[in-house]
Amino acid sequence: AQKITQTQPGMFVQEKEAVTLDCTYDTSDQSYGLFWYKQPSSGEMIFLIYQGSYDEQNATEGRYSLNFQKARKSANLVISASQLGDSAMYFCAMREVMDSNYQLIWGAGTKLIIKP
Amino acid sequence: EAEVAQSPRYKITEKSQAVAFWCDPISGHATLYWYRQILGQGPELLVQFQDESVVDDSQLPKDRFSAERLKGVDSTLKIQPAELGDSAMYLCASSLGGRRGYTFGSGTRLTVV
């Protein structure tokens, strides 16, 4: 069963508009972490934001915020005031413990294109 | 800010040849990961090290892939012989755990011809 689901394969957004990238997850663990990464065409994977399952407030990092709805198992990334440089692949990932080791489970990604 | 170093950045090799990738994690990071990423997909874990020990290599095609981290610092991933289907981005990451997750290197883009 898919543990991380990103339902938007691709999105086009006008520059300066806000963007919401969807992510739902499936876990029976009480303690877990959710990450968003950005991957430009150059290939490197860039950490954006983290949300812990016990965090009471939604995480924010500059223009990035995470809309965490624990009961719905949803962790959507919101990018405010989008810029051309935001064009990239975006991956949602969940850290869980497997055989006593922490591992990241990845979604399939969303390709975001910002239009001028 | 400390970085994970990977080399080479790009590699073109012929089918059936051997190829090797190198990774130097952030100093002090005990956990090191090798991922393979097919274009348009999420990363797939190949092998996870804790210090010099392999803790998960369940997805590593062991008939042709090998990985080592002899002194618990830098690591090498080898493919022998390379096949056309091995063409992908190979990403190395290291981690201390916690809220920052993993730090990735720039990756090695492998093309097998």
Mean pLDDT value of segment B88-102: 84
Mean pLDDT value of segment A4-27: 96
Measuring CA to CA, how many Å separate B2 from each of B26, B34, B104?
6, 18, 11
Question: Would you state the pLDDT for residue A2?
Answer: 61
Measuring CA to CA, how many Å separate A104 from each of A113, A116, B42, B88?
25, 34, 11, 19
Interface with B, mutate which of A104, A111, A112 (most B CBs under 10 A)? A104
Mean pLDDT value of segment B27-44: 92
- Looking at the predicted structure, is the pLDDT value of residue A98 above 70? no
Mean pLDDT value of segment A63-89: 96
Task: Find out whether A20 and A77 touch, Cβ atoms under 8 Å.
Answer: yes
A43 contacts B55? CB cut-off 8 A? no
Mean pLDDT value of segment A37-56: 92
Q: Which residues from B are below 8 Å from A102, CB to CB?
A: 31, 95, 97
Q: Which of B1, B72, B77 is nearest to B30 (CA)?
A: B72
**Run of H or E residues at A67:** strand A64-69
Interface with A, mutate which of B7, B41, B94 (most A CBs under 10 A)? B41
- Looking at the predicted structure, is the pLDDT value of residue A1 above 60? no
> How many Å from the N-terminal Cα to the C-terminal Cα in chain A?
38
- Looking at the predicted structure, is the pLDDT value of residue B27 above 80? yes
Nearest CB neighbour to A106, from listed B42, B107, B109: B42
What is the nearest CA distance from B25 to chain A, expressed in angstroms? 14
Cis-peptide, bond into residue A9, ω within 30° of zero: no
Question: Would you state the pLDDT for residue B96?
Answer: 77
Place B16 in a pLDDT band, splitting at 50, 70 and 90: very high
Q: Is the CB of residue B41 less than 8 Å away from at least one CB of chain A?
A: yes
B31 contacts A91? CB cut-off 8 A? no
Nearest CB neighbour to A44, from listed B40, B44, B107: B107
The whole-chain average pLDDT of chain B stands at 92
Q: Which of A1, A44, A57, A43 is nearest to A24 (CA)?
A: A1
Q: Which residues from B are below 8 Å from A50, CB to CB?
A: 99-101
- Looking at the predicted structure, is the pLDDT value of residue A79 above 80? yes
**Phi and psi at residue B85, in whole multiples of 5°?**
-70, -5
**How far is Cα B57 from Cα B60, in angstroms, rounded to an integer?**
5
